[in-house]
Chains A and B, each alone.
Chain A
Amino acid sequence: MATAAPANAMWGSGSGRLHHQTISVIVENRSGVLARVAALFARRGFNIISLAVAPTDDEAFSRVTIVVDLQETSVEQLTKQLFKLVNVVKITEMPPGEALERELALVSVRCAPPGAPGPSRGEVGDLVRIFGGSVVDVGQEALTVMLAAEPSVLDDFEELLRPYGIIDIQRTGRVALPKLERQAFRRGRGTAGGEK
């Protein structure tokens, strides 16, 4: 993906995320488990920035991806308390920089129909293409576009779309996996092409 660099440089919006830590929690896929996780955060006063849940490849388990602010929350306490939940099977802490994070956004944005004054579909479409997103719906005076990217890139994308007039935006919250082992990464740099 060749997306991130220009936007970050322009907007610098990624800086607040330095303190964000992603925690990936494998839980038993049973009714009420998400409520237990959410109740624990409320009970212990942990603030969360985002939370995403989905089944894993093994249907007995789901992955809950939680993002917290390290400055507000003791990740050690949070993971220890989470692990006390009987239905929590595994917790992976992913410090900033060690997680591969992606988030998806759907944005409905205004654009003028052909011939009318104002930014055209083409203008909005160009911006979407620069970011590597796609247009998923076309209306008379609006487009709905989609972008899956690192969260900071989504921030930039959102800011750049704003002047056109955002009608609606829905972001999914982050999902993440740990970066592959560093050793493999280093080896890969010279030979197989690695991750970049």
Chain B
Amino acid sequence: MQLTGAQALIKSLEMEHTEVIFGLPGGAILPAYDPILDSPIRHVLVRHEQGAGHMAEGYAHVTGRPGVAMVTSGPGATNLVTALCDAYMDSVPVVAITGQVSRPVIGTDSFQEADTVGITRSVTKHNELLMSAEEVPLAVRQAFLLATTGRPGPVLLDVPKDVLQEKTEWYWPTDDEVSASLPGYKPTTKGHPRMVREAARLIAASERPVIYAGGGILKARAAEALRSLAEITRAPVVTTLMARGAFPDSHPQCLGMPGMHGNYAAITAMQEADLLIALGARFDDRVTGQVSTFAPAAKVVHVDIDPAELGKIRQPDVPIVGDCRLVIEEIVRVLAASGEPQADRGAWWARVNQWRERFPLHYEPQAEGEALKPQAVIEAIRDASPADTTVVAGVGQHQMWASQFWRFEEPYTWVNSGGLGTMGFAVPAAIGAKVGRPDRTVWAIDGDGCFQMTAHELVTASSERIPIKVAILNNAYLGMVRQWQELFYKERYSEVYLSPDLPDYVKWAEAMGCAAFRAETPADVAAVVDKANAIDDRPVVIDFRTDANEKVFPMVPAGASNSDVIVHPSQRPGGEEVVQ
């Protein structure tokens, strides 16, 4: 069967079970858009290519399947770079297809030419420039394999226009041919048995263990395995920003999020632990604070599919390269089989519970005449929405409050930009999440600064009938920057004020085809959240007017030790002063 490169590309995507492509056509990718008309694959036409990338990420986060983005050459490809970098940092499986100028003019600075493979080399797990139509099916199979196995990540295929137009004999490579074509790619999935036994021994002997669960738990579909490990060890569990939902917040052993804006008990339990069981986590600086003073007494068992993470920041006592689910299941099996009693952790739990009781997450209730408390808005949405609601955040204060004050009970209900910290992530990622799981309510919790970066994708959502809900916590500031300027720059506010009314978010949202509301009082909040939850035929945007003075606590200042947590002022013995 003779196909053009374009037909072979779309057929290959079909063979890989692609349901949806997020994209935007242009000159070089044009040939690939023709066969889309005849394909069962849905295409979501974005308004800016960055949106296509974040939608693919949102889709991948909630489904576990790779998101597919397709854009044209030059500016199409460069607009995708932020999303690729985001996916790379958070290990999100994405397959990106970019058009490229025709082979004879590559390297001549022709119209809309960019060195896409060069530009994206350091933000993709792998990328390839395809130089013949014949290569297309194998390259697509490789891309899906690479994106989804080992440590997941984005893979980009750059396809010249004349390759898309060229005819080739259709051929779908076998599994063996795919693995033979990647002689250097053999991810280790099964943990080394001796290391697994050593880990089990350390765990059983530990008096003050903490399970440090990272995003790798979700990537490895290891939430159930994590729960068995937690229950057999009775160890406290912290779930990082990337792992919220991997372990239910309602579980008595769950201490919540660690790190810069983590729960006091989670941060402090890690500091005081004698053993950290790091599972699919990478000792990010936002978790460790100052590395030299992080968890000083703890031995470390570190499980990760990426060998380069072991010893990158903290030298583990027991390094285990492998798939989190497989390794945790093995550790649980060894622990259960050994029949040895676990060390007594009564004293440890007594301390942990003291921290929990003394320093719970806290904010002062709204005073009469003041603006809404952002935390209260999040709680109101949480309480009025279904338990399996997917929450998507942008980056900043609202993201931290969403992580802190939502209660995550199920895996894959939390989508955010952790590693790269991409403002503007929420709206497009929420669209992708809704496309991936249309059965679930999707709430984007966004800031006013973030919203302005990618709000235009609500046009996409309206025209494609993707009914997401967006809560703008509008404090008229780049709030997290403002918080740092307040605490660390003597309240000298530089370039952080945005205005609550410019733009008029309600009118803007309405112009983009959304239902839109504004809430200024607690009574408004409950009413508009209910209204929003009742609307299912178009996107909804709510402009919540929130208190700009509200700060995210607890806080560990950048570079400080996790032993120096700044708690909420009302929880400090000395009153209002800031601990340096």
Interface residues of A (CB under 8 A from B): 27-28, 31-32, 35-36, 39-40, 43, 76-77, 80-81, 83-90
- List chain A residues, Cβ under 8 A from B117: 32
- The one of A36, A84, A90 in contact with B308, judged by C-beta atoms closer than 8 angstroms, is A84
Q: Given A85-B184, A86-B126, is A77 in contact with B121 using a C-beta cutoff of 8 Å? A: no
Is B311 an interface residue, CB under 8 A from the partner?
yes
- List chain A residues, Cβ under 8 A from B307: 80, 83
Interface residues of B (CB under 8 A from A): 117-118, 121-122, 125-126, 129, 146, 151, 182-185, 306-308, 310-312
The answer to whether B312 touches A88, judged by C-beta atoms less than 8 angstroms apart, is: no
The answer to whether A86 touches B308, judged by C-beta atoms less than 8 angstroms apart, is: no
Closest residue on chain B to residue A42 by CB atoms: B122
Q: What are 9 A-B contacts defined by CB distance under 8 Å?
A: A27-B184, A35-B118, A36-B121, A43-B122, A80-B307, A84-B306, A85-B184, A86-B125, A88-B184
CA distance A193 to B117 in the complex (A): 52
- List chain A residues, Cβ under 8 A from B121: 35-36, 39
CA distance A77 to B313 in the complex (A): 10
Q: How far is the CB of B296 from chain A (nearest CB, A)?
A: 22
- List chain A residues, Cβ under 8 A from B182: 86
Q: How far is the CB of B378 from chain A (nearest CB, A)?
A: 37
The answer to whether A28 touches B122, judged by C-beta atoms less than 8 angstroms apart, is: no
The answer to whether A76 touches B311, judged by C-beta atoms less than 8 angstroms apart, is: yes
CA distance A39 to B127 in the complex (A): 13
The answer to whether B308 touches A81, judged by C-beta atoms less than 8 angstroms apart, is: yes
Q: How far is the CB of B219 from chain A (nearest CB, A)?
A: 16
CA distance A96 to B282 in the complex (A): 31
CA distance A39 to B184 in the complex (A): 18
Q: Given A28-B183, A86-B126, A86-B146, is A77 in contact with B118 using a C-beta cutoff of 8 Å? A: no
Q: Given A86-B126, A86-B146, is A80 in contact with B118 using a C-beta cutoff of 8 Å? A: no
Closest 7 CB pairs of A and B: A80-B308, A89-B184, A86-B126, A43-B122, A88-B184, A80-B307, A89-B183
Q: How far is the CB of A76 from chain B (nearest CB, A)?
A: 6
| Contacts A80-B310, A86-B126 known; 10 new A-B pairs at CB < 8 A | A28-B184, A32-B117, A39-B122, A80-B308, A84-B125, A84-B151, A85-B184, A86-B146, A89-B184, A90-B184
- List chain B residues, Cβ under 8 A from A28: 183-184
Q: How far is the CB of A117 from chain B (nearest CB, A)?
A: 54
CA distance A43 to B122 in the complex (A): 7
- The one of A32, A43, A84 in contact with B129, judged by C-beta atoms closer than 8 angstroms, is A32
The answer to whether A86 touches B185, judged by C-beta atoms less than 8 angstroms apart, is: yes
- List chain A residues, Cβ under 8 A from B122: 39-40, 43
The answer to whether A77 touches B184, judged by C-beta atoms less than 8 angstroms apart, is: no
- List chain A residues, Cβ under 8 A from B118: 35
- List chain A residues, Cβ under 8 A from B308: 77, 80-81, 83-84
Q: How far is the CB of B321 from chain A (nearest CB, A)?
A: 10
CA distance A39 to B311 in the complex (A): 22
Residue in A40, A89, A90 whose Cβ sees the most chain B Cβ within 10 Å:
A89
Q: Given A35-B121, A86-B146, is A77 in contact with B183 using a C-beta cutoff of 8 Å? A: no
Q: How far is the CB of A32 from chain B (nearest CB, A)?
A: 7
- The one of B126, B146, B312 in contact with A77, judged by C-beta atoms closer than 8 angstroms, is B312
- List chain A residues, Cβ under 8 A from B183: 28, 89
- List chain A residues, Cβ under 8 A from B306: 84
The answer to whether B185 touches A77, judged by C-beta atoms less than 8 angstroms apart, is: no
CA distance A39 to B122 in the complex (A): 7
Closest residue on chain B to residue A88 by CB atoms: B184
CA distance A39 to B307 in the complex (A): 20
CA distance A40 to B122 in the complex (A): 7
Closest residue on chain A to residue B126 by CB atoms: A86
CA distance A49 to B121 in the complex (A): 23
- List chain B residues, Cβ under 8 A from A89: 183-184
Closest residue on chain B to residue A36 by CB atoms: B121
CA distance A90 to B184 in the complex (A): 7
Q: How far is the CB of A115 from chain B (nearest CB, A)?
A: 54
CA distance A81 to B184 in the complex (A): 13
CA distance A27 to B146 in the complex (A): 17
Closest residue on chain B to residue A81 by CB atoms: B308
- The one of B129, B151, B184, B310 in contact with A87, judged by C-beta atoms closer than 8 angstroms, is B184
CA distance A89 to B146 in the complex (A): 15
CA distance A39 to B306 in the complex (A): 19
Residue in B151, B306, B308 whose Cβ sees the most chain A Cβ within 10 Å:
B308
CA distance A87 to B310 in the complex (A): 22
- List chain B residues, Cβ under 8 A from A32: 117, 129
- List chain B residues, Cβ under 8 A from A81: 308
CA distance A159 to B125 in the complex (A): 45
- List chain B residues, Cβ under 8 A from A86: 125-126, 146, 182, 184-185
Closest residue on chain A to residue B155 by CB atoms: A86
Closest residue on chain B to residue A84 by CB atoms: B308
